[in-house]
Amino acid sequence: MSEKDQQELSYLGKIRSFGWNARMYLLHIFGMDVIHGAWEVLFNLYLLALGFPISFIGLRLAILGIASALASVPAGRLADKLDRKWGFIIGDGGGAICSVVLIMSTDGTTILAFSAVAAAFGSLHHVTEVPFMAENSEPKERIHLFSVGTGFRTLAAMFGALIAGFLPLMLVDDGMSTIEAYRLAVHVGIAGWFISLVPAVLLRRNPIIEEDSVGPDTNKEGVQKKGIFSAIKTPQTVFRFVAISAILSLGAGFVLRLANVFFLEDAHASEYEIGTVFAVGSLFLAIGAFLAPFVVDKLGEVASIYWTRFAAIPFILLIGFAPALATPETVVSLAGLAWVLRTTLFNMSNPVMDSFSMGQLQPSERATFVGISSMFSSALAALGAYLGASMMQTGDFRTPFVVMAVTYLLSTYLFLHWFRGSVGKSDPVQSAN
């Protein structure tokens, strides 16, 4: 058997070895993330169709980020106390209900209020997700579960984006209003979200227990410390991961949740074209996620992260400057291609980063770390979204992409500076032991 065949057998063998919880989790996120693909394409367009200005979209995203930031640390502490599956059920069930209210509402105050509530539910899900995946995989197999999970998630988002791109076009052609067509397309995704709660309910207690390599968190008198940050055992490592994520989120806030606004208002793309671009981006992101373990086998976790992230940065600028570089007939194609390449390269690193960070942290501090990271990341993403929307409202669609590229460069440099030479749990040298 060739070396390549052995690698493929190992890859498939590790996927087949996933336990019950991991399999149920994969079914859960596939059903859940259809709505994310549809929402990413349509909800901002729905608000524009209702007559809200781009500045309102920025205000909503800012409130979303602030609410998520405020809820993140308490949600992380709660997730450390609860069985992980209740984070899925409560967070996703509440989020799905809020989404129904949001897509049916035309009142600005109601939209802002339920966006905040939805963010709190989303925080509970988010801080549960990565620790759960870590607890349901051996260290040497973790990169495979993270990669397959990301692949399933993005394939689901691809289907959602296709629904959002094509279904409204067909419904409007049949005489339905644009707003009603948007609502029906989003409802399809929300239905999948509710169905995804079934495998979440079927989750069992975690089969793999890892012990902290650091002793219990006590003071000089030997009394166990209490408090919202008492679970943190490795503060320097936590600080570094939080800083890397927060800087990244600041730049992403300027663009990512406003990308459909950019494509509609500056690149003059249709809903069908936006849905297609996002769907193709999700497809290639999924392919990249499934291939991530092979990249790690060649480069190791740390090198895989910084090489893919550095390579994605030029395409951020190409997206933003495509309207100035291309003709009206080709601008969507150029910006769309750059979007796909940026999405594939940068997000290929995400499951590797999740695996690497969980491997560097103590099991007891993981959910609290995710909560802290989410708090800072959400707050800065909120600031970025508000500023980015304000720029776009005045017709400046270029500066947000420049800011995004600079912050991505800084974040990736800091990761390289702090973690170059570190060994990941899925690195070849580790797997061989």
When pLDDT is averaged across residues 295-319 and rounded to a whole number, the result is 90
Q: Quick one: average pLDDT of 53-65?
A: 93
pLDDT of residue 415: 94
Q: Does domain 18-204+233-427 have CATH number 3.40.1010.10?
A: no
Q: What is the pLDDT of residue 422?
A: 77
Task: For residue range 84-97, list pLDDT tens digits in order.
Answer: 667 778 888 899 99
Phi, psi of 328 (to 5 degrees): -55, -30
- Indicate the average pLDDT of the chain: 83
The torsion angles phi and psi of 45, rounded to 5 degrees, stand at -65, -35
Q: What is the pLDDT of residues 379-428, one digit of tens each?
A: 899 999 999 999 999 999 999 999 999 999 999 999 999 998 777 665 55
CA angle 20, 354, 31 (to 5 degrees): 45
What does the pLDDT look like over 322-356, one tens digit per residue?
999 988 889 999 999 999 999 888 878 888 888 78
pLDDT at 213: 55
Q: What is the pLDDT of residues 258-287, one digit of tens each?
A: 999 999 999 999 888 999 999 898 888 888
Q: Give pLDDT, residue 270.
A: 87
- Say if residue 8's pLDDT is above 60: no
Write phi, then psi, for 137 (nearest 5 degrees).
Answer: -150, 145
Greatest mean pLDDT among 46-50, 205-209, 284-288, 372-376: 46-50
pLDDT of residue 43: 94
pLDDT in tens, 90-145: 888 899 999 999 999 999 999 999 999 999 998 888 777 767 666 665 666 666 77
| DSSP assignment of 35-96 | HHHHHHHHHHHHHHHHT--HHHHHHHHHHHHHHHHHHHHHHHHHHHHS-HHHHHHHHHHHHH
